[in-house]
Amino acid sequence: MVAVGIVGASGYTGEELTKLLQGHPEVELTALTSRTHAGKKVNEVFSLPKNLDTTFLEPNIKNLKNCDVVFFATPNGTAMKMANELLDHDIRIIDISSDFRLTDYKVWEEWYNFKHVAQSLLDESVYGLPEIPNQKSKIEKARIVANPGCYPTAVILALLPICNTLKKQKIIVDAKSGISGAGRNLNTEKLFSANEENFQAYAVKNHRHYPEILQTLNQYNNDLDILFVPHLSSMTRGILSTHYISHQYASIEDLQQTYLDFYEHSHYVKIAETNSFPKVSEVNKTNDCIISLHTSSGTSNDDVNLVIFSVIDNLVKGASGQAVQNMNIMFQFDETVGLP
């Protein structure tokens, strides 16, 4: 059994992660921490599929020292402060925040506006998107896995099979997320609360997922940039991302085959039938990503002639489910164990 700790277990992501790991046959939930709810019974804070007779603990090394792996479902800046001490105790880390996603600490500090205090660990951190070619072997050996952001997961999976063949361009990415993507500490003055019928754009100029998406795409094609426009919807969960691209391809059927071949061994990526439109409801509470490809008419070689849709559950494939998938790979379990 793998002894698991979760730092920040009482947020949306932490709750989802707890529920998934409760059903994992190879996991023992050893420590659930929460600064807000320390000392409270877990079952008093949120409803779980099975009763969990434990209390929330303070997030410190004393309470985590018996873990084999610790998940961070915390705000940015928390994992980096505890990482070295955990690694010194041979405890592996899966960070669902942004602390270890960017390889250049200067870029990280520019986008997150405070100092990165674990710069020496960025070189060894492994980006936890298992569908990237040859990434699983890196994840398996990693001491630190940086779980991708929710938007980057949807965007990168949509573009990965063709990004190295695209000509120089700025890809338009129009992405919509459920309200849970803003977290339980949502600023309702700037946005809006759950169950309120609403829909709006935000962070058009400087969303922090922009450098993360670009970092991965530029590993395959330095000529690509993106115009990333995120939106928040009052639906509870899910992401629908739309990508507008100029691409030279023979036919949409040939392109569809390219995607089928690329993701042939990726259990959680599904390529929809030609001309179908994936729905957020189809991936609700699953670790799946559904991708569909559509021809768009254009009058010149520079016009958008390809539209790609991708849908994921932002709390599962976009966060906690992908984190469990990464843990399975790290500990050499079947990557589907414990996942819907």
Catalytic residue numbers?
A: 150
Query: CA dist 86 to 62, 90, 113, 186, Å?
Result: 10, 7, 25, 29
Nearest-angstrom CA–CA distance, 218 and 290: 23
CA 270 from chain centre, in angstroms, equals 17
47 closest CA partner among 25, 71, 15, 77 = 15
Running DSSP on this structure, what letter comes out for residue 149?
P
CB 217 within 8 A of CB 148: no
Show the beta-strand stretches assigned E in 186-305. Answer: 199-201, 224-233, 239-245, 269-271, 289-295
- The tokens for 137 are 């072997």
d(CA 164, CA 319): 26
Q: To which H or E segment does residue 262 belong?
A: helix 252-262
Alpha helices in 23-72 (DSSP H): 42-45, 61-64
Residue 259 in tokens: 């995607």
Q: Kindly give, in sequence order, each residue whose CB lies less than 8 Å from that of residue 143, ignoring residues fewer than 6 positions away.
A: 87, 92, 93, 124
Give me the half-sphere count of Cα atoms (radius 13 Å) on the Cβ side of residue 298.
16
